[in-house]
Amino acid sequence: MNEDDVSFERKRPDVYGDAHPKALLRTIEEDGDFLLKLADQHIVSADQFNVETMRQLFRLAAKIESNPKRFSTPLKGKILISAFYEPSTRTRLSFESAWHRLGGDIMSITDRSTTGIAKGECLADVAEMFNNYGDCVVLRDTNAGSLFEMMDALRIPIINAGNGIDEHPTQALADMYAIFKWKPELLAEDNDVKVKIGIVGVPGKMRTVRSFLKCLAIFPQAVEELVIIHDETVTDELFADGQREELEAVGIKLSTETVMDDVLPSLDVVYINAISWEGDSFNTYGKEFHLTAKSPLKESAIILHPLARGEELSVDLDPTSHNWYFSQARGAVFLRMALLTCMVERAERVIDVV
Amino acid sequence: MNEDDVSFERKRPDVYGDAHPKALLRTIEEDGDFLLKLADQHIVSADQFNVETMRQLFRLAAKIESNPKRFSTPLKGKILISAFYEPSTRTRLSFESAWHRLGGDIMSITDRSTTGIAKGECLADVAEMFNNYGDCVVLRDTNAGSLFEMMDALRIPIINAGNGIDEHPTQALADMYAIFKWKPELLAEDNDVKVKIGIVGVPGKMRTVRSFLKCLAIFPQAVEELVIIHDETVTDELFADGQREELEAVGIKLSTETVMDDVLPSLDVVYINAISWEGDSFNTYGKEFHLTAKSPLKESAIILHPLARGEELSVDLDPTSHNWYFSQARGAVFLRMALLTCMVERAERVIDVV
Amino acid sequence: MNEDDVSFERKRPDVYGDAHPKALLRTIEEDGDFLLKLADQHIVSADQFNVETMRQLFRLAAKIESNPKRFSTPLKGKILISAFYEPSTRTRLSFESAWHRLGGDIMSITDRSTTGIAKGECLADVAEMFNNYGDCVVLRDTNAGSLFEMMDALRIPIINAGNGIDEHPTQALADMYAIFKWKPELLAEDNDVKVKIGIVGVPGKMRTVRSFLKCLAIFPQAVEELVIIHDETVTDELFADGQREELEAVGIKLSTETVMDDVLPSLDVVYINAISWEGDSFNTYGKEFHLTAKSPLKESAIILHPLARGEELSVDLDPTSHNWYFSQARGAVFLRMALLTCMVERAERVIDVV
């Protein structure tokens, strides 16, 4: 094996470049008060934030992404309890990377079967244990209610990193952060630009889509139209109770579509989800909703995907300018850095003017 | 979801307050020599310590608990090997939190099946590996002898974090630390106060109780009487060989009792253990020995429990002043911080006068 | 239990002493350029290095081993992704210890079943995730090809920590480092010393032996003769394609032997491998190739073993001067410290003159 076979380049593709976060950063004026308030909140749902808190979070994320080396110590001496009772390497490493980059220490739980919970210990007791051992908890659990059982007993903040089919709020924040980096004017005070967004998936059943829709409802002025692209077989259970009503109440124009290629040419943002887990309906889904470089996408359109992907998203899109899903994954680390810093009472270390 | 639904308070319940460790701290005069000597010892059994070493450990733990932020770097550059071949989140996180709070780094082994031991590697070879890779080992193993097999080959200290049904010495130290925080005068040089202690459990079979009794035998002057509260069915196997004799040899008055409520009104300290693992006898145990807010406890009595708890300890006791089991769990972190610092030759960084 | 039962000594056996790395250090003149170039390479195979790069790596390892405390911060702020999809505590902890000693942070993956890979995620996507989350990847996988699938998508360096039966290059570097520490003159510019090396094992099937042979082929002038000691039953499959030819092409005299004790008295270095995994042929192997203190070893001979060991290497050799396998394991940490520092663009922090 010679040197050429093992050499690699550290260069970044353009889409990851510095230009985008810096443009977003310039668009928003700092107001640290909204960040300081995050020290008293658990992160449970995508709709717990108001517009200004979100804008400030995106600003802080963009500030960190523009110059990560400046933010290597804000969490010094802080301990994260990374509790992934439902296995997930991707989300776990994203949070842990964010925490480590900020200078904090981590204790991981990666297997429910090794914990007291498996032996029937009540979650309030587990929460009490966490109070004593750490400064913040990140929790993923297949049981949607575990989060709420723990919350009441906690005196340190907890982040919902996916609770069953309910929500995954920081994923949705990362989704929005990608959109606003791509088009910062959507967040400007005097914005009159709007985008048409298509979501391939089942809002009633997918936690990432559920949280994403809640985030969109906070920025209705940025949405020209929202199209849910779904298979005919799930029409009846497409939305969960109240989900559609919430979006319409804030004035978002909502439509549904079963033929993806009919609507693709008009979309600015395509949000597509892993659909392989849908069991029996996989083949149908796979055939109908398969995005490739040959799909009739608008030239300027971007694709988002929470990853890991299945067959629904072809790798031939990776080298195209539609690929914002890698940027979305990368940005998630900076978004989480911003959020975590605020949650453990260290916002004053990263705010410009206190 | 609105802000109120997700807000929380960082305030601590009174029982965790600063008053108690500070009172204990004032009671004991520092003598660092006893702490420096811990650098040459493995921690194997609760009876390896003499009175003065324990007093100094409790003093150091109280000093750390009184002002944890002062002690964020003593273990900088030190690596802990956290080897939990028998699964345990609670004890593992307690040790790892202690180590991280002191500024050290950690490598965890949480699964025996992934190690050479599973393939038949001898423990002396594992110990030799540990010598090269870390500065301290914390070991839990269902096999009581693993600890001793490793010890002979180690040139770095090892802590027994539970070896089968044998011992769990740092748990017992944490138990004693809770008692002395509650009533510091028990540790005073001129002490003439004594307490009556009841233990619900089977000393011959439970490692936490075994280690706790060994600790009590080191402070006989603090014990007015010791009552073992047990189910009639285990009378024959209540004590292990020599266990009863050891206690009586140091002058501790020992009695046994099968009806808990008969003795409760006279007890100052009630030490109750998880009993759910007793298999067939669970129902009987659960019925007979179930502590609740309605139990006939002395008003000033405190309850200790090594946790995790089962049905034997009702959650309705949590908000009462009897609840010292949460303080006990919290204090265990500080106790371990004190011990670990001394074991890896960093005592001089935390002693006031060297 | 009294103090004597639990006391231990921190002293190191002579073989681990400071003398050897210092002698090696003095033998080689620093040329940092070769180390700086390692920042653009993945570590895939033992034959990717040239002579001078290896010499400089061994020099740096010896410098670190001579005074480890001087090198506690070069990786500050850097994150290692320690991905052991094939379980291995020994190699994992060796890498993690090296990284921690240099001041870096670590995220571990110890179980393939908890990752997206188990769900069919492509390795290029996993690599893209790693790009975003860490600064270096250490990978062990039973599938020899996983490494190559990841490499193409990586913009951070990856180290092969064992890929199926293919290679384990850092183990081989550690093997060579042990040999050169033992006899630094082998690395001197004007060297005319040579050693006779025996390898007990099957070069075609064992990744540690494969990588070790590739390293030897880089230093042919140090090898008087190379003897492969093997069981008669594997004669046909002893070498993989081209393996023998590679060695002979660089002028290494190669022979094979089936009776170990016939050749032992002439060997300077005996490299023996765990052979217990050979299934049916275990008994034969165990009987024939069992090194003990009674084996007819040259008085000055050293034994190397990649560990963990089985019955092939008797513990009665541990206290003898033949035991260099413990030194080899210990040195592996320093060798990896040297390599890792260079790979993540921090060589200039450890080079004397930049």
Kindly list the structural domains of chain A, giving each domain's residue range(s) and its CATH number in brackets, ordered by start: 22-168+331-349 (3.40.50.1370), 169-330 (3.40.50.1370)
Q: What is the mean pLDDT of each run of 10 residues along chain A (354 residues)?
A: 86 66 95 96 96 97 95 97 92 98 96 67 92 97 94 96 94 98 91 94 91 96 96 84 94 96 97 65 58 97 94 94 95 98 97 77
d(CA C208, CA B204): 49
Q: Is the pLDDT of residue B55 over 80?
A: yes
CA atoms within 13 A on the CB side of C277: 13
Q: What is the DSSP string of C255-276?
A: EEES-HHHHGGG-SEEEE---G
A8 → closest Cβ in C40, C47, C105: C40
CB < 8 Å to C106, chain B: 107
By Cβ distance, the residue of C96, C110, C330 closest to B114 is C110
For residue B117, name the pLDDT band (cuts at 50, 70, 90). low
- Neighbouring residues of C33: CB distance < 8 A, sequence distance ≥ 6: none
Q: Which two tokens stand for residue C310?
A: 């089985």
**A105-109 vs A136-141, strand pairing mode:** unpaired
Q: Which of C179, C167, C120 is nearest to C140 (CA)?
A: C167
The answer to whether C134 and A96 are in contact (CB under 8 A) is no
Say whether residue A14 is in contact with chain C using an 8 A CB cutoff. Answer: no
**ipTM, interface predicted TM-score of the complex:** 0.94
Indicate the SS3 state at residue C207: helix
Taking residues B106-116, report their average pLDDT: 80
Show Cβ contacts of residue A67 under 8 Å, excluding neighbours closer than 6 positions: none
Which C-chain residues 57-116 have CB contacts (< 8 A) with chain A? 77, 79, 81, 105, 107-111, 113-116
Q: What DSSP line would sit under B90-131, residue for residue?
A: HHHHHHHHHHHHTT-EEEEE--GGGSGGGGT--HHHHHHHHH
Question: Is the pLDDT confidence value at B50 over 90?
Answer: yes
> Residue C167: its pLDDT value, please?
94
| Nearest to A269, CA basis, from A329, A161, A159, A195 | A195
Q: What are phi and psi of C26, to 5 degrees?
A: -70, -25
Chain B residue with minimal CA distance to C103? B77
Q: Which position has the token pair 């765990």?
A: C274
Residue of C67, C15, C7, C329 lying closest to B155 (CA atoms): C7
Q: Does C124 touch chain A (CB under 8 A)?
A: yes
User: For A42, which of B6, B108, B111 is closest by C-beta distance?
Assistant: B6
Residues B63-88, mean pLDDT to the nearest whole number: 95
Subunit contact A121:B308, Cβ cutoff 8 A: yes
Q: What is the DSSP letter of A187?
A: G
CB atoms under 10 Å from CB of B255, counted, come to 11
Banded pLDDT at B192 (limits 50, 70, 90): confident
- Rounded CA-CA distance A162/A46 in Å is 11
Nearest to C341 by CA among C98, C34, C28, C87: C98
Name the packing angle between helices C169-182 and C51-66 (round to 10°): 70
Query: Considering just the CA atoms, what is the radius of gyration of chain B in Å?
Result: 20
Q: Which pTM does this prediction carry?
A: 0.95
pLDDT value for A106:
98
Q: Do B94 and A133 touch (CB under 8 A)?
A: yes
Res A288: pLDDT: 74
- The kind and range of the H/E element at C79 are strand C79-84
- Dump strand ranges (E) for chain A: 79-84, 105-109, 136-141, 158-163, 195-200, 223-229, 254-257, 269-272, 302-304
Per-residue pLDDT of chain C (354 residues; tens, 9 = 90+): 777 899 999 876 555 566 799 999 999 999 999 999 999 999 999 999 999 999 999 999 999 999 999 999 999 999 999 999 988 899 999 999 999 999 999 999 987 776 666 667 889 999 999 999 999 999 999 999 999 999 999 999 999 999 998 999 999 999 999 999 999 999 987 888 999 999 998 898 899 999 999 999 999 999 999 999 998 887 778 999 899 999 999 999 999 999 999 999 999 999 998 764 444 444 444 457 899 999 999 999 999 999 999 889 999 999 999 999 999 999 999 999 999 999 999 999 999 875
Which among C78, C132, C218, C342 is the top mutation candidate for probing chain A, defined by the most A β-carbons within 10 Å of its own β-carbon?
A: C132
**Chain B interface, best mutation among A129, A342, A345, by max B CB count within 10 A:** A129
Closest CA to A337 of A31, A25, A96: A96
CB contact under 8 Å between A116 and B315, yes or no, is: no
Would you say the C-alpha torsion B173, B174, B175, B178 has a positive or negative sign?
positive
Which tens digit of pLDDT belongs to each residue from C181-193?
999 999 987 888 9
The closest alpha carbon to A93, from A347, A327, A329, belongs to A329
CA distance B92 to chain C (A): 17
Closest among C25, C44, C110, C33 to C334, alpha carbons compared: C25
Q: Which residues of C are less than 8 Å from A90 in CB distance? A: 116, 129
Distance (Å, rounded) from C-alpha A214 to C-alpha B171?
47
CA B200 to chain centre: 16
The verdict on a CB contact (< 8 Å) between A100 and C114 is no
Q: Which CA distances in Å does C215 have to C168, C170, C211?
A: 11, 10, 6
